[in-house]
Amino acid sequence: MPKVSVNSLKPGMKLSKPVVNEAGMVLLGEGTELTGSLIERLQNMNMSSVYVEGVSKPQKSKEDIMSEIDARFKKTGNEPHMGTLKRLLEEHIEELYK
């Protein structure tokens, strides 16, 4: 779910998360298809970037994330249930990179 700067938005992109103002109120709902005039309004609103639909890719490499997880579990990875938790987290990360 990439976050895109308001200056690089193109008409036809769809919001993958609602746009909210400073008080947390929803201005544009999830799934809204952006038009030229909506983009202009977003640019005039002091909003830096919004989420649009697209391929979701976390920023770090999978290998880096996995080795960080190894390091975090190094003290307790062998304790009861911790192996399960670690495996489930690793499977979850694998899914994100599919």
Partner 1 sequence: MDIQALRSQIEKIDTLPTIPSVLRKLLVVIENPKISLNEVGSFISNDPVLTSRVLKVVNSPVYGFPGRISSVSQALILLGLNVVKGMLLGVSVFEAMQKTMVGLWEHSLGCAITARIIAKKKDLKEPEEVSVAALLHDIGKVVLGLKFPGEYKKIMAEAESKDIFIVDAEKNYFNINHADAGAWIAQKWNFPRSLVEVIEYHHKPHLSKSVPVQTAIVHLSDILVRAKGFGFAGNNFVPAVNGSAWQSLNLSEEDLKDIFAEMEDSLSQAEDFLLSDE
Residues of this chain that bind partner 1 (CB under 8 A): 1, 3, 17-18, 20, 22-26, 68-69, 71-76, 79-82, 84-86, 88-89, 91-92, 95-96
Q: Output 44 or 81, the one with its CB closest to partner 1.
A: 81
CA distance 38 to 6: 10
Please report how close the Cβ of residue 83 comes to partner 1 at its closest, in angstroms: 11
The CB-of-15 to partner 1 minimum distance in angstroms stands at 13
Q: CB-based contacts of 13: which residues, under 8 Å, 6+ apart?
A: 4, 33, 34, 52, 53
